[in-house]
């Protein structure tokens, strides 16, 4: 099924159960695929070009050094400017292949075939490609939208449960941005992920990204849960997966919104969030480990005259509201101290109650 996207949107979006070779590029194309998917791909009758690269890239190798041999390989093939690169894998593979496609010959076309729920629901749409530097995640990258996104939900059948849960948090994020409490609560219940949720999340993100491709305004709403989430992810030494950290950040953002005097959340919603997040409690770093990371937030504002190392005076925070769309506020990093403490307390109580 082809999803409706805004007219002129850079990426055609397809959501299918099984892969369809009719959606592969016309003309010369090559593939960079996650080795874990090779059997599922060829087993589904999908072609494997002779110059395909099957790779295994752990999160800690989402680095420029991983992409360079791919670029050298494409130059040896050789891949010309009119060729298309197909990325098959989770967010790590798609971020790196997209970056490679942006760099090679100053930009060749690419398609993304996401294979994790996180990549289907979020990472593969929006044109952000990137790699990590020693100083932090995604600090180098390019906006280079794929021509086509083909999400085949059949690939999810072998995805480990932890990674399914990881992607589910990005879906729950969408409901909270929109203020749709009933949808958020439906997704927070136990039970399988529904394709309709992925479809809605993709359609919403496509609209936002189309209106604000460079994240100058509305697109920042997609960072709901990411301010505290990124700090918790880094402070855990990346033992928390990205989506898990976002899940914790979502509860933190609900608590911060209440602290800021916005409308209270239905207790049932907070209970469901707490119950789902409790297994992550041992990975939550103490506040002193989080504060310096919040100060380093990419969109931090600093007092004039201070250097980059100076503590941030304000960071960009997204506050969810029940029944209404989330809002943006610039706040001092320390405002997160109370929500962080409440988060730990709520998960602690639930762990002792269960
Ligand atoms: N570009 C963006 O807008 C954006 C947005 C969100 C996240 N990201 C990035 O996405 C990355 C995380 O992506 P991810 O969560 O997909 O992790 P991932 O790509 O590391 O995949 C998770 C694991 O699942 C395996 N895997 C992939 N598909 C599988 C399948 N169908 N069956 C079995 N195993 C499978 C992978 O080999 C890997 O071990 C992070 O680097 C993050 O920065 C990017």
CA distance 28 to 67: 20
pLDDT of residue 244: 98
Centre of ligand 1 to C-alpha 109, Å, is: 21
Does the C-beta of 126 come closer than 6 Å to ligand 1?
yes
pLDDT of residue 263: 96
CA distance 28 to 77: 11
R_g of the chain, CA atoms, integer Å: 20
pLDDT in tens, 173-204: 999 999 999 999 999 999 999 999 999 999 99
pLDDT in tens, 24-65: 999 999 999 999 999 999 999 999 999 999 999 999 999 999
pLDDT of residue 296: 79
* Predicted confidence (pLDDT) at residue 295 exceeds the cutoff of 90: no
Q: Ligand 1 atom closest to Cα of 130?
A: 1
Q: Ligand 1 atom closest to Cα of 138?
A: 43
> Measuring CA to CA, how many Å separate 86 from each of 32, 83, 112, 258, 265?
6, 10, 6, 44, 43
Centre of ligand 1 to C-alpha 12, Å, is: 21
Taking phi over 0 as left and psi of -120 to 50 as alpha, with beta for the rest, 303 belongs to beta
Give 265's pLDDT tier (boundaries 50, 70, 90). Answer: very high
Does the C-beta of 123 come closer than 6 Å to ligand 1?
yes
Does the C-beta of 118 come closer than 6 Å to ligand 1?
yes
pLDDT of residue 89: 98
Q: Ligand 1 atom closest to Cα of 34?
A: 37
Domains of the chain: 12-158 (3.40.50.1970), 161-353 (1.20.1090.10)
pLDDT of residue 298: 65
Selected catalytic residue, list 226, 276, 295, 321: 226
> Measuring CA to CA, how many Å separate 65 from each of 71, 242, 342?
10, 22, 41
Give 134's pLDDT tier (boundaries 50, 70, 90). Answer: confident
Of 66, 91, 219, best ligand 1 pocket probe by most atoms within 8 Å of the beta carbon = 91
* Predicted confidence (pLDDT) at residue 11 exceeds the cutoff of 60: yes
* Predicted confidence (pLDDT) at residue 311 exceeds the cutoff of 80: no
Give 310's pLDDT tier (boundaries 50, 70, 90). Answer: low
* Predicted confidence (pLDDT) at residue 137 exceeds the cutoff of 90: no
Selected catalytic residue, list 148, 168, 219, 220: 219
Token duo for residue 262: 């916005």
Strand partners, 142: 129
* Predicted confidence (pLDDT) at residue 320 exceeds the cutoff of 50: yes
Half-sphere exposure of 219 (CA within 13 A, CB side): 15
Give 305's pLDDT tier (boundaries 50, 70, 90). Answer: very low
Centre of ligand 1 to C-alpha 80, Å, is: 28
Mean pLDDT of the chain: 94
Of 123, 161, 198, 298, best ligand 1 pocket probe by most atoms within 8 Å of the beta carbon = 123
Token duo for residue 326: 């989330």
Selected catalytic residue, list 21, 65, 76, 106: 106
Does the C-beta of 155 come closer than 6 Å to ligand 1?
yes
CA distance 297 to 312: 8
pLDDT of residue 303: 54
* Predicted confidence (pLDDT) at residue 306 exceeds the cutoff of 50: no
The SS3 of residue 87 is strand
Instruction: Specify whether 163 is catalytic.
Output: no
Q: What percent of the chain has pLDDT over 70?
A: 96
Instruction: Specify whether 157 is catalytic.
Output: no
The length of the chain, given as a count of residues: 354
Centre of ligand 1 to C-alpha 124, Å, is: 10
């Amino acid at each position: 099924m082809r999803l409706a996207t805004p007219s002129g949107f850079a990426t055609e979006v397809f959501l299918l159960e099984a892969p369809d070779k009719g959606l592969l590029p016309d003309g010369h194309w090559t593939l960079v695929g996650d080795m874990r998917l090779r059997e599922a791909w060829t087993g589904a009758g999908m072609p494997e070009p002779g110059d395909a690269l099957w790779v295994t890239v752990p999160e800690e190798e989402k680095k420029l050094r991983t992409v360079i041999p791919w670029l050298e390989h494409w130059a040896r093939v050789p891949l010309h400017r009119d060729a298309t690169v197909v990325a098959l894998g989770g967010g790590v593979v798609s971020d790196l292949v997209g970056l490679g496609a942006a760099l090679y010959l100053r930009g060749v076309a690419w398609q993304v075939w996401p294979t994790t729920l996180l990549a289907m629901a979020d990472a593969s749409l929006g044109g952000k490609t990137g790699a990590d530097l020693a100083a932090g995640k995604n600090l180098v990258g390019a906006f280079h939208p794929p021509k086509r996104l083909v999400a085949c939900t059949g690939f999810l059948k072998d995805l480990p449960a932890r990674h399914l849960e990881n992607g589910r948090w990005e879906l729950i994020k969408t409901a909270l941005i929109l203020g749709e409490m009933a949808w958020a609560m439906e997704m927070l219940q136990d039970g399988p992920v529904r394709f309709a949720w992925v479809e809605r999340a993709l359609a919403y993100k496509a609209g936002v990204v189309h209106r604000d491709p460079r994240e100058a305004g509305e697109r920042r709403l997609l960072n709901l849960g990411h301010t505290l989430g990124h700090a918790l992810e880094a402070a855990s030494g990346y033992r928390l997966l990205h989506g898990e950290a976002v899940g914790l950040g979502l509860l933190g953002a609900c608590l911060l919104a209440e602290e800021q005097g916005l409308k209270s959340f239905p207790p049932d919603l907070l209970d469901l969030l707490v119950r789902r997040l409790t297994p992550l409690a041992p990975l939550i770093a103490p506040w002193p480990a989080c504060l310096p990371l919040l100060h380093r937030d990419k969109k931090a504002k600093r007092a004039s005259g201070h250097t980059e190392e100076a503590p941030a005076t304000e960071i960009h925070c997204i506050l969810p509201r029940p029944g209404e769309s989330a809002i943006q506020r610039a706040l001092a990093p320390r405002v997160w101290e109370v929500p962080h403490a409440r988060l730990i307390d709520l998960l602690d109580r639930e762990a002792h109650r269960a």
